[in-house]
Structure 1
């Protein structure tokens, strides 16, 4: 299998037949051996009935149905688990991503990249409710993760199978796939893609998801930078907090011993004690996190590195 196309579906009964036809038209000229994986994320309309009919007629189609709505991240993860292609493509099922862009992204991937992200350069969405929050989010994510992209929210992506196989996604982390892949050492770039207006159905996104995105961003940043050395972040906070508390306490001790100043009714004394105890708690939390990290990696025999390729001679293998 050359290419696996993964599509999360949630209440897209009007879009599915058109999308399937456009996918076949876009992929047919490439001569690739491909499969199309639809993941029905607990749709309440006729989406599954339509997908079942398409799968019955085309054995290149894989249809997966969730028992309930688990979210886009879970749908993509299920698609990755069932994908058998050397290249994995993801796109939305709402017809706003153009399947004609898939060969363009795959061609860019073959230049030596591991992940190619779509960039909706001329986005057909409302400015205040969609474009502006997206631009702010893209800036925050790029600044925090140090993976500079214009459009983290674009589902249209192409990446190698080994990258997809090593992605562990939770919460709303599908939008952070490029940042997570960078932690695996992936070479990442982006390509401008066509973006179309939604014709049928309604958007599943809203400003209410912003808080969840921010919380997931904190998680991603932690795993990218400190998952194997948590003591460095918690220990640093503990040292800073405890150090400030100690200096405050030392200064007040000098004032009391040499200048006869009373310590009664001084909020600064309580703050110093609080900071010292907080610092001790942060250091303790860091040590516990270190134990958890070691248990996580050693119990699963999970390495703290990712190998891209190994070269060795046949004689060395026999030894």
Structure 2
């Protein structure tokens, strides 16, 4: 019988967290008295993660393991989880043990109330304030400003969705940081639930301060991707041509008569041209992801 709830978990080199996370999750899901499945997406782990996951799947038919054919990144692993999930509701969480499975019932309660998406909010973070918490708050504010979906903690991996909202989406590298806004939901269709934030129990974090700058770079693209990616790509391509011609005219003018104002205008056009090129390239990457997919599957255990 088809499950009512699917829990999808990307895993990459988490051998020290696999067993404990599974047992915690199993206890919570059994207590819900709902038909459920647990989908572990092994994203090219080079340690014993895959071996441990296959061992769990061999003794628990509610567990499926999707083995990706390489390390495609968290966005791709989430896309695979959405694709293979069979439940009406899909819960996603990190595989490092920092999300507490005991918060899942609160997310499901919000989905039952009719929200299309629910996002966890780690109000009391356990990480370093200057290197992780403060940059995260800045990024959350910028994302809310650009997308119109006001989420306090976009980076929280514990989220819940109606399956119909996420099915068929292929998320390019880095764009998972804009969930759930990337799915085109409105602010009033998204709920937030305060969740616990636990320290990583084993292994090392895959995140760093550099990710903050990646988010800001891709943030220039996400608003266009949400509304009409192909339409905006064509418009920006035409704008690049116009800016290039304008820049050439200004350069010729500058060569014949040097003027500080003209020089500043030329520099501004160069910056604008660079931004247009960056956005167009990211939009093209987004569109190709929808057409070609973002992951390859080597094997599905219990599939």
TM over 0.5, shorter chain: yes
Matches within 5 A, 1:39-118: 39-118=41-120
SS at match of 1:124: coil
Once residues 68 and 186 of structure 1 are traced to their aligned partners in structure 2, the CA distance between those partners, rounded to angstroms, is 38
- Alpha-carbon separation, structure 2, partners of 1:241 and 1:77: 37
Give the equivalent residue in structure 2 for 1:30. Answer: 32
Matching residue of 1:19:
21
User: Distance in 1 between the 2:93 and 2:34 partners?
Assistant: 18
Q: Of residues 164, 171, 187 in structure 1, which corresponds to 2:166? A: 164
Q: Distance in 2 between matches of 1:183 and 1:268?
A: 49
After the TM superposition, which parts of structure 1 deviate over 3 Å for at least 4 consecutive aligned residues? Answer: 183-186, 231-246, 268-272
Distance 1:224-1:183 versus aligned 2 partners, 3 A rule: farther
Structure 1 or 2, whichever has the larger Rg, is 1
**Superimposed CA distance per residue, residues 203-249 of structure 1 (whole angstroms, 9 cap, x where no aligned partner):** 11011223322232222122124525426666678889989999x9x
Once residues 185 and 137 of structure 2 are traced to their aligned partners in structure 1, the CA distance between those partners, rounded to angstroms, is 23
The answer for unaligned runs of 5 or more in structure 2 is 292-303
Q: Deviations over 1:173-207 (max 9, x none)?
A: 11212111235898112111111111211111011
Deviation, 1:162, is 0.7
Is it true that 1:176 corresponds to 2:167 in the alignment? no
Show the counterpart of 1:2: 4
Rate the CA distance shift 1:238–1:56 in 2: closer, same or farther, 3 A. same
Q: Distance in 2 between matches of 1:31 and 1:207?
A: 41
Q: TM-score of the superposition, structure 1-length normalised?
A: 0.74
Name the SS of the counterpart of 2:28 in structure 1: helix
Query: Are 1:2 and 1:87, in contact at CA under 8 Å, matched by a contact in 2?
Result: yes
Match of 1:121 in 2: 123
Q: 1:29 to 1:205 in 2, by over 3 A?
A: same
Q: Is the 8 A contact 1:171 1:216 kept in 2?
A: no
Q: State which drifts further: 174-183 or 191-200.
A: 174-183
The count of residues paired between Structure 1 and Structure 2 equals 273
Question: Cα RMSD between the aligned structures?
Answer: 3.5
SS in 1 for 2:57: helix
Q: CA 1:267/1:54 → structure 2, altered by over 3 Å: closer, same or farther?
A: same
Aligned partner of 1:267 in structure 2 is: 258
CA distance in 2, matches of 1:81, 1:15: 24
**Aligned-residue offset at 1:45:** 1.2
Q: What residue number does 1:147 align with?
A: 149
The 3-state SS of whatever aligns with 1:227 is helix
- The residue number in structure 2 matching 1:220 is 222
Cα displacement (A) at 1:124: 1.0
Q: Is the 8 A contact 1:42 1:66 kept in 2?
A: yes
Supply the distance in 2 between the matched residues of 1:213 and 1:264 (Cα, whole angstroms).
38
SS in 1 for 2:180: helix
Alpha-carbon separation, structure 1, partners of 2:174 and 2:165: 18
Shift of 1:57: 0.1
Q: Which has the higher contact order (CA 8 A, sep 6+)?
A: 2
